[in-house]
Amino acid sequence: MFVGPRMKRDLVTVTPGATLEAAARLLTAHRIHHLPVVEEGNRLVGIVSDTDLRRATLDGMFGGADSGDSGRPLRVEEIMTRELVTLSPGDTLDDAMLVLSRQRIGALPVVEGDRLVGIVTKADILTALLSTLDIEGLGVRIEVVLRRDVKEVARLAAALADQDVEVRSLVLALHGADGYAAFVRVATIDVASVRDRLRGKGFAVGELSDFYEGG
Q: Which of 25, 28, 192, 199 binds another protein (CB under 8 A)?
A: 192
Residue 135 CB, shortest distance to another protein, in Å, is 7
Q: Which residues contact 122 (CB under 8 A, 6 or more apart)?
A: 100, 106, 107
- With contact defined as beta carbons under 8 Å apart, do 24 and 18 qualify? no
Q: Which of 77, 85, 188, 204 binds another protein (CB under 8 A)?
A: 188
Give the span between the Cα atoms of 41 and 207, in whole angstroms.
Answer: 57
Residue 36 interacts with another protein (CB under 8 A)? no
CB-wise, 64 or 137, nearer to another protein?
137
Give the span between the Cα atoms of 106 and 7, in whole angstroms.
Answer: 14
Q: Which of 62, 151, 189, 214 binds another protein (CB under 8 A)?
A: 189
Give the span between the Cα atoms of 13 and 36, in whole angstroms.
Answer: 5
- Size of residue set near another protein by CB under 8 A: 19
Residue 154 CB, shortest distance to another protein, in Å, is 23
- Identity of the amino acid at 60: G
Q: Which residues contact 1 (CB under 8 A, 6 or more apart)?
A: 92, 93, 94, 128
From residue 139 to residue 178, what is the string marking binding to another protein with x (rule CB under 8 A)? xxx----------------------xxx------------
Find the binding residues for another protein in span 103-142 (CB under 8 A): 135-141
Give the span between the Cα atoms of 163 and 203, in whole angstroms.
Answer: 14
CB-wise, 110 or 194, nearer to another protein?
194
- With contact defined as beta carbons under 8 Å apart, do 112 and 92 qualify? no
CB-wise, 91 or 143, nearer to another protein?
143
Give the span between the Cα atoms of 118 and 108, in whole angstroms.
Answer: 9
Residue 189 CB, shortest distance to another protein, in Å, is 4
Residue 140 CB, shortest distance to another protein, in Å, is 5
CB-wise, 66 or 136, nearer to another protein?
136
Question: What is the H or E stretch that residue 27 is in?
Answer: helix 20-30
CB-wise, 177 or 208, nearer to another protein?
208
CB-wise, 59 or 134, nearer to another protein?
134
- With contact defined as beta carbons under 8 Å apart, do 204 and 145 qualify? yes
Chain contacts with another protein (rule: CB under 8 A): 135-141, 164-166, 185, 187-193, 208
